[in-house]
Structure 1
Amino acid sequence: MMKQLSVLYRALIQLRLLLYTHGILRHHTLGCQVISVGNLTVGGTGKTPVVEVFARELAKEGRKVAILSRGYKKVEPGLAERLLDLALWRERRRPPRVVS
């Protein structure tokens, strides 16, 4: 099963690269430096603590820091309230803002 998923994933990545090569998909520039932390594993891999360390260290250097978090097209009842609570909690404990 994993072999088939691996082959499918590779084909999708190659298709994506082809779409960029032919200009169907386009790159976007934000005008600021971006650090992206993520992987194919969901939850429990230590991404959040790594982001927090990066944010704290960059803020110590006097840089403006924003943490952007996005879900994968999920809509759950009460999700906005949970994200707001998380953002407020993190803002009180750490200088960077969490934007969800």
Structure 2
Amino acid sequence: MITVGLTGSIGMGKSTVAAMFADEGAAVWDADAAVRGLYAPGAEGFHAIKERFPEAVSADGVDREKLSALVLNDAAALADLEALIHPLVSEDRGRFIDDAARAGVDIVV
């Protein structure tokens, strides 16, 4: 299986390229969607953020704007957030790739 990493700044066409790969049968993992899922009520990321940043959490999930405001100018808070979320994102990506391999997918993006 071929694994392709797709990176770039905002507005650089990542979604367009990912859609092109998907149209050709590639399995496409979306880090932004993974984080949104982790921030949903009841998700593992939701609970971790609720413990460290309770003011950024409501019954609807993690309030990304409030969370952003809390970590924007606080390097220690940002490091805490990254330490909570990055391992969960990595686990999600790993599961996605494993599932794609079991399904016989030739290319994962």
TM superposition score normalised by structure 1: 0.30
Structure with higher helix content: 2
TM superposition score normalised by structure 2: 0.28
Greater relative contact order: 1 or 2 (C-alpha under 8 angstroms, separation 6 or more)?
2
Q: Which has the larger Rg?
A: 1
